[in-house]
Amino acid sequence: MRLAVIAFPGSNEADMYSALKDVLKEEVEIVNHEAENLEGFDGIILPGGASYGDYLRPGAIARHSKVINEVKKAAEAGKPVIGVSNGFQVLLEAGLLPGAMKRNESLEFICRSVEVKVENNETLFTSEYESNEVLSLQIAHGNGNYYCDDETLDRLKENKQIVFTYNGSNPNGSLENIAGITNEKGNVLGIMPHAERAVEELIGGTDGLKLFQSIVKNWREAHVANA
């Protein structure tokens, strides 16, 4: 599987690249935000960090990058697209996911491990997890307080688009403890916790690894079926 990690000014693309290349052993390339063609990739990942220094709003400037049009094309074609932390914020700003991010309820930057529950393990991002499995993942953000209107929330629940929630304490005030959602089609995921920082025991655990393994497994099964 050939994966693209999009690098905006201020992104932490190296963490994601290492997780995919060194641990998952997949073909991966760091792609500049000015890229105008992503057709050769099977999946697209927008990493965490602080794109453009989080000026205006996190993700607000990155959404106007040339590559976003290509990310939208990939999503429309059904390819898996993931936005982690700042990448989630970019997907929201770009309209690829519903809702918005507000400042953390504490108005402080939070960097620590949290418990995250798998609410829906029937997506291409979560199929390797058990239903209601509780994970230990790291967060590092100042704007992770997910919000949407009542109509959108009802739609998220009805379509089972809420795939990850904070378990126990809510670190940022996020609506309904939401930590990760998909689009209605189920091929675009936004998640605030950094799954790529939990792929090896050496760095504190492997609870994030199954997210990436799910994508690869589902992609390979789909290609075998279409072969």
What are the catalytic residues? Answer: 194, 196
The closest of 54, 45, 44, 43 to 9, measured between CA atoms, is 54
Give me the amino acid identity at 95.
G
Handedness of CA 110, 112, 117, 123 (dihedral sign): positive
Do 63 and 98 contact (CB within 8 A), yes or no?
no
Q: Which residues in 128-164 are b (16+ Cβ under 10 Å) and which e? A: bbeeebebbbbbbbbbbbbbbeeebbeebeeeebbbb
DSSP 3-state of 130: coil
Q: Which of 143, 139, 140 is nearest to 104 (CA)?
A: 143
Tell me which residue has tokens 């790291």: 138
Question: CA-to-CA distance for 211 and 4, rounded, in angstroms?
Answer: 16
